[in-house]
Homo-oligomer: A and B are copies of this chain.
Amino acid sequence: MNRKLRMGMVGGGIGAFIGNVHRRADALDGQIELVAGAFSANPKRSRQSGKELYLDPNRVYGSYQEMAKEEAALPEDERIDFVTIVTPNSSHFEIASAFLEFGFNVICDKPMTFDLAQAKKLRTLVRKTGKVFALTHNYTGYPMVKEARDRVRKGRLGRILKVVTEYSQGYAVGDVENAASAKIASWRTDPSVAGASNCMGDIGTHAANLGSYITGLEIDELCAELTAFIPGRLLDDDGNVLIRYKGGAKGVLYASQISNGDENNLNIRIYGTKCSLEWHQEYPDELIVKYADKPRQIVRRGNDYNSSVAKNNTRIPFGHPEGFIEAFANIYLNAAKAIRAEVSGKKMPKELDFPNVEDGVRGMAFIDTVVKSAKSKSKWTKLVRT
């Protein structure tokens, strides 16, 4: 299959932050080509976006339904190999389902669905169709996150005792008496679009997914408090969670969008009986390893001593910083391997290192459980995802 993969996109019209990130991530490695799109529910805006992206106007659609149907009708050597969905999460389920049923592979933004019930249905559909489904929990794409996971898997931390995950942003605060400062993507705090949670759904799930990815630990039960600090806000803009993992580890996880001056402050610390790890998303090329009896280590991306999985997800040498887009592109690059296999009818590669539909169910169950606990006076609540 000596060609680039052909990608279609739903949502992400010109100007949309996340649409641009996806496009840059897929273009970065010369393995994927954007050829079609339904960039907006507004057909005119969709066409305009297509034009600015230099797409063939015949492949720019007025709706995702039209796109799924017409792309499926194209000859095999023309039609898209997969679709990327970057709309608000209330529409993920129906769009993903439509494309899956037309036989397309899917890459979907997170949170995966509107609620846990949809997530489980989508899981069933993915299993049934056998198509590739990737979820862009992009923070797991960072090489040093993969290095961390590799070290946990190899037992280099010993038994994990404690996990502290924090994800704080400040964009939804400011002087709260000042209306302008309460800016926040309006759909994110609209329960009919965002679902049961804003802050936990938007960034808390990233934090939970990051912990799950690195440690492999499953949450047994949790005790949560959610707050909406801005008067009149319908959903949480801050949340704090105590966690009991299966096997005895404990956790603290918090997410906040009213942490004034914090930018995209996602951090994780994992404490094991042999050593501990610390990673800061804003300084992603470094992984800090702490020992009781020897010097602290700064493991830096791109060095020969990195694990092979870290090396395989790195593009440029040490000291030449990689960033958010590169990590995002790793989700694409790893999913692309699976999609190439699927499209060519070949066997899947042994290890598929990208977030999948099960991670999506896990994330929706996390949100669901946090909301339940918060509503019941922070009662310890079991996380169930079957």
- Write the chain B residue with the least CB distance to A229: B161
**Contact yes or no, A24 B273, CB < 8 A:** no
List, in ascending order, chain B residues with CB within 8 A of A51's CB: 2
- Interface residues on chain A, number (Cβ under 8 Å): 94
A283 contacts the other chain (Cβ, under 8 Å)? yes
Stretch at the interface among A207-215, A318-326, A346-354, A357-365: A318-326
A130 contacts the other chain (Cβ, under 8 Å)? no
**Contact yes or no, A319 B223, CB < 8 A:** no
Tell me the chain A residues, 192-230 only, with Cβ under 8 Å from chain B: 223, 225, 227, 229
List, in ascending order, chain B residues with CB within 8 A of A305's CB: 293-295
Stretch at the interface among A108-116, A118-126, A250-258: A250-258
**Contact yes or no, B293 A289, CB < 8 A:** no
- Write the chain B residue with the least CB distance to A27: B27
Known: A23-B30, A250-B227. A175 touches B162 (CB 8 A): no
**Contact yes or no, B170 A292, CB < 8 A:** yes
Question: Considering the chains assembled together, what is the distance between the CA atoms of A320 and B254 in angstroms?
Answer: 19
Q: Copy number of this protein in the oligomer?
A: 4
Which of B27, B242, B302 is in CB contact (< 8 Å) with A242?
Answer: B242
List, in ascending order, chain B residues with CB within 8 A of A169's CB: 319
Mask for A288-306, Cβ within 8 A of B = 1, else 0? 0111111111111011110
Tell me the chain A residues, 299-341 only, with Cβ under 8 Å from chain B: 299-300, 302-305, 315-326
**Contact yes or no, B256 A316, CB < 8 A:** no
**Contact yes or no, A295 B289, CB < 8 A:** yes
Question: Considering the chains assembled together, what is the distance between the CA atoms of A205 and B171 in angstroms?
Answer: 32
**Contact yes or no, A276 B259, CB < 8 A:** yes
A247 contacts the other chain (Cβ, under 8 Å)? no
- Write the chain B residue with the least CB distance to A292: B174
Tell me the chain A residues, 27-83 only, with Cβ under 8 Å from chain B: 27-30, 34, 51, 53-54
**Contact yes or no, B238 A320, CB < 8 A:** no
A159 contacts the other chain (Cβ, under 8 Å)? yes
Question: Considering the chains assembled together, what is the distance between the CA atoms of A315 and B21 in angstroms?
Answer: 8
Known contacts A225-B250, A256-B271, A261-B291; 6 additional CB pairs below 8 A are A161-B260, A162-B258, A223-B225, A264-B319, A294-B305, A295-B298
Residues in chain A within 8 A of chain B (CB atoms) = 2-4, 17, 20-21, 23-24, 27-30, 34, 51, 53-54, 158-159, 161-162, 164, 166, 169-171, 173-177, 181, 223, 225, 227, 229, 238, 240, 242, 250, 252, 254, 256, 258-265, 269, 271-276, 281-285, 289-300, 302-305, 315-326, 377-380
8 contacts between A and B (CB under 8 A): A30-B34, A164-B166, A169-B319, A170-B276, A177-B273, A256-B271, A295-B305, A323-B325
